[in-house]
Chain A
């Protein structure tokens, strides 16, 4: 399983959703090296994957970006990520992105049958995620709302 087969559908889905649903441009994508842990920018949504391939999808951004995205979706102004609606908005975006990406993957690889868990949201300073099979690099996307980081952890399931 190579990096571009696992992460590419997620990058494509993010690109589509930011442009079409949120009306935000993505200017540049770059690869960011990751050590043994995924270092969060302050706000991370995680969606679990099971089936033919199993693992996690991470959608990470700064708390300011999360607040900005929530304002765009809900149409209200928020001041902090402690507001539950900001967390729910972030969860929804990750849900849509991973849903699209998984549909893509399942269509390309017939019989893979990947399924998603409900999203979980974590926010805080100096937060890091550890997973034994973490991808060595993340994709950093520069968007109109701030930097968005994507990482996909996957292994072949049973």
Chain B
């Protein structure tokens, strides 16, 4: 996968979170995913179809997800992972992927995106690509977020 295409996702995530009042997000890691198991309870998946085809998964711990939801709702305390934080997280992913799609369009890559779906569970095993999954790690005061990108041309 082209580095410019990955950058479109990275800059979109950082810009969208900044717009929502979370300005401490920085990229702290980049690598290939080497295992099927994940300890992250919250995974939000979005599909891509078009010039590039694949799935993007935002993956994090429940605690991080609740911190993000709380920030998105102007500091309202979130103590339970119910409908409210779930919709907030889906909305965040929707904004990130929408922006990514328009960033990709700027470099001539046309894609359509599916609506987000949030997968919640403990000790999950996941396989989002038959080929290779790239993991971009972000660290912020809300916690650690992993952006899994799996595309095929």
Binding site for B on A (CB under 8 A): 36-37, 40, 44, 46-51, 54-56, 81-82, 84, 87-88, 91, 115-118, 120-133, 153, 155, 157
CB contacts (< 8 Å) of A37 on chain B: these are 120
With the chains together, A116 CA to B120 CA distance in Å? Answer: 23
* Residues 120-134 of chain B, each 1 if its beta carbon lies under 8 Å from chain A, else 0: 111111111110000
Residues of B that sit less than 8 Å from A by CB: 36-37, 43, 45-50, 53-55, 57, 83, 86-87, 90, 112-130, 150, 152
Distance (whole angstroms) from the CB of B69 to the closest CB of chain A = 13
CB-contact partner of B114 in A40, A50, A123, under 8 A = A50
Contact assessment for B125 and A82 in the assembled complex, using a CB-CB cutoff below 8 Å? yes
The distance in angstroms between the C-alpha atoms of A50 and B114, with both chains bound, is 6
Majority secondary structure, B binding face? strand
Given A49-B114, A130-B86, A155-B115, A120-B36 contact (CB < 8 Å) = no
Interface centre among A115, A118, A126, A127 (most CB of B within 10 A): A118
Q: Find chain B residues with CB under 8 A from A116 CB.
A: 49
Q: How long is the Cα–Cα vector from A46 to B49 in the complex, in angstroms? A: 14
Given the known A-B contacts A123-B125, A126-B121, A127-B121, are A50 and B86 also in contact in the complex, defined by CB atoms under 8 Å? no
Establish whether residues B127 and A129, one from each chain, have CB atoms under 8 Å apart when the complex forms: no
In whole angstroms, how far apart are the Cα atoms of A97 and B6 in the complex?
A: 31
Give A117 to B54 CA distance when docked, in angstroms.
6
For this complex, 30 residue pairs linking A to B, each with C-beta atoms less than 8 Å apart, are A48-B45, A50-B47, A50-B49, A50-B50, A50-B114, A55-B114, A56-B114, A56-B117, A82-B125, A84-B127, A115-B49, A115-B112, A117-B47, A117-B55, A118-B47, A118-B55, A122-B119, A122-B121, A122-B125, A123-B124, A124-B121, A124-B123, A124-B124, A125-B122, A127-B124, A129-B117, A129-B118, A130-B117, A130-B119, A130-B120
